[in-house]
Chains A and B, each alone.
Chain A
Amino acid sequence: MTPPSPGKDAILGAIRRGLKRSPLPDDQQLGLRARLAAHPRHLIPARGQLPRPEQVALFLRNVEKEFGTTARIATLSDVPSAIADYLAANNLPTDFAIAPHPELEAIDWTLRPLLTRRPGRAQPTDQVCLTHGYAAVAETGTLMLPGSPHRPTTLNLLGDTAIVVLRASRIVGFMEAAWDLIRAENHDSTTGGFMPRNIMWVTGPSRSADIESTLELGAHGPRRLHVVLIDDDPAALLTDDPTTLT
């Protein structure tokens, strides 16, 4: 039971005086609660509303537009080699922090024994952090990274390099569709709702243009963002021969 709050009464009272009314009558409150429950969508740009192959292609293009890099692989089991290749190509160390996500833990990492994984949250000394993408938005090239025991938030922030493993089937056209996913899939026992402590929507690596309006990457967050996309969505793959499309 929350204690009475004079501050709250003062502010709400001042607002109501401005609006020239008392607290809303019950029927109007009901209407507003109905609007909250329905959480209606507003105008959604056409940009992300594409057939699946174009949608995935748009997502990847947008990640690259915002200074991220991408790689496309066939299955989860290709993850270790994709990571090893990426780290080698960028002259990065082979040890990294990794999200303790069941899908990542189920991968056979012995294929690349030189990679050293440390599951858990990120530490300040981590140079490379790998996390599991919950979903992504094609419209803007944005990754949806809800914090959870399986996806510690610090993995998005502390390393110089952030790698996100993402299933193509989790790419949606626009943000509203991503909100629908977490509304349907997540149960938060603290609130009884679906919101975790924190959801980071990430579009590219950290940047700043504060110094003479010149863009530099890696202000405080990662300087590199690499998305490893698993092509687990057959509908998202373009067939080679357009005449075979039904």
Chain B
Amino acid sequence: MLHTRPRVALFVTCLVDLHRPTVGFAAIRLLEQAGCQVEVPRAQTCCGQPAYNAGDRATARDLAAGILDAFSGYDYVVVPSGSCGGMISHHFAGLFDNDPQQRTRAETLQAKTFELVAFLADVLKVNTVPGVYQGTATYHDSCSGLRELGIKQQPRALLASVSGLTLTEMAEPEICCGFGGTFCVKYPDISTRMVSDKTKDIAATGADTLLAGDMGCLLNMAGRLKRENSPIRVRHIAEVLAGMTNDVPPIGEGRS
């Protein structure tokens, strides 16, 4: 039982910042309603994955060092993304193999960094959320969240507590959607095929809504669904859990 309000720093992620701020505000609402004091360090840009996965370790290290500085001193760091959360919590320490002091700081940060839904369910033991949502949703398991962070049952458990929402599963929710960061523009043929296979699976569920915890995957899948003229509504899970779906149209849809 937490006797004082945990001090949580929100790592917004560059895609939420640039593309869909509502997700960041939904995260804040969920964390505050669960009893956290939330701050958003201003000196944050990107977790560095694009550089890291492109082989540019130097840039990745610089960005990680900046994050170590900006996010020190909090009880927890929470991230509305499995891939950015995984980058910080699993890959930062390895960037400082030659610098024992930084490495220790990175390990400390790693231990207190969590993806949003995992944090709510596993650390704060939240089991109901304020959200209400009329619809049938299917949930895509983003790769890093699933395989690096073990996020599988938590989003489903929290979605089950959203009144009005029915959950239905894809045949293969765990298969990669084909985003992979720069992969989707370096190997567009392969990526388009992978995301088309995924949207076929999504459509076959009969769901009217697609949810996931990673903006990269969501932009990729929403983009393909819209190209296919699909009416399926795509949202980040945080928007639904926080009951903020009236604040912003689904991803890829205009304001009517």
A and B touching (Cβ–Cβ under 8 A): no
Chain B residues close to A by CB (< 8 Å): none
